[in-house]
Amino acid sequence: MCIIFSDMKTLEQIEAEVRKLPPPAQERLRDRLEKLLEGRLELKEDFKAEIEAGKKDVAEGRYRVRKAVMKTATIKFPGQLVEQLQKLVEAGWFKTPEAGVVEALRRYLSGHSIELQEKQILADVEWGLHGRD
C-alpha cells in the first residue's frame, strides 16, 4: 500500500530526481540518508558473530589483500577530448582525468569483448546467408 500526500513525491519520482544529480551530490545524499536511518537499524546476532569472527581472523593475520596491478601508459589525446574530460573532473564526475580515462576504457572494453564481437559477426553472416531479421 502506498500513501501519498498531495505535496509529496512518489519514491519513483524521488529516484528519478536523484539520478539527475552529479555523483558527488548523490554521495552526499546517500551519506545523509545513512545517518538519518542508522538509528533504526538493528544488527542481527548472526551478523554480529560474523563481524567478531572477521575481527579475530584479521587480528590473527588470516586475511588477503587484493591490489590492482597498475601500469603507466602515455597517450596523446585530441585537445577537445582533454577539455571535455577536464570539465567532467571539475563537475565532480571523476576525481582525476586519469580516473575518467580508466573508466571510459573499462566501459568500452566491457562492451567490446572478443566473444561479443564474434557473436555479432556470426549474426551478420547468418543474416547475409539467410536474410532473416
Number of domains comprising the chain: 2
| pLDDT confidence bin for 48, thresholds 50/70/90 | confident
| pLDDT confidence bin for 8, thresholds 50/70/90 | low
Grid coordinates of 3: 500513501
Name the residue range of residue 92's domain: 76-133
Residue 114 CA to residue 54 CA, distance in Å, equals: 39
Tell whether 1 is covered by a domain.
Answer: no
Tell whether 52 is covered by a domain.
Answer: no
Tell whether 104 is covered by a domain.
Answer: yes
Percent of all residues in the chain with a pLDDT value above 90, rounded to a whole number:
23
* Average pLDDT over every residue of 50-76: 86
| pLDDT confidence bin for 122, thresholds 50/70/90 | confident
Tell whether 103 is covered by a domain.
Answer: yes
Percent of all residues in the chain with a pLDDT value above 70, rounded to a whole number:
92
pLDDT in tens, 85-106: 999 999 999 999 999 999 999 8
pTM: predicted TM-score of the whole model, two decimal places: 0.40
| Closest of 24, 28, 29, 1 to residue 14, by C-alpha | 29
Tell whether 133 is covered by a domain.
Answer: yes
Residues 29, 47, 43, 14, CA torsion sign: positive
* Average pLDDT over every residue of 108-119: 80
Position 132 scores a pLDDT of 62
Same domain, 82 and 33: no
Tell whether 2 is covered by a domain.
Answer: no
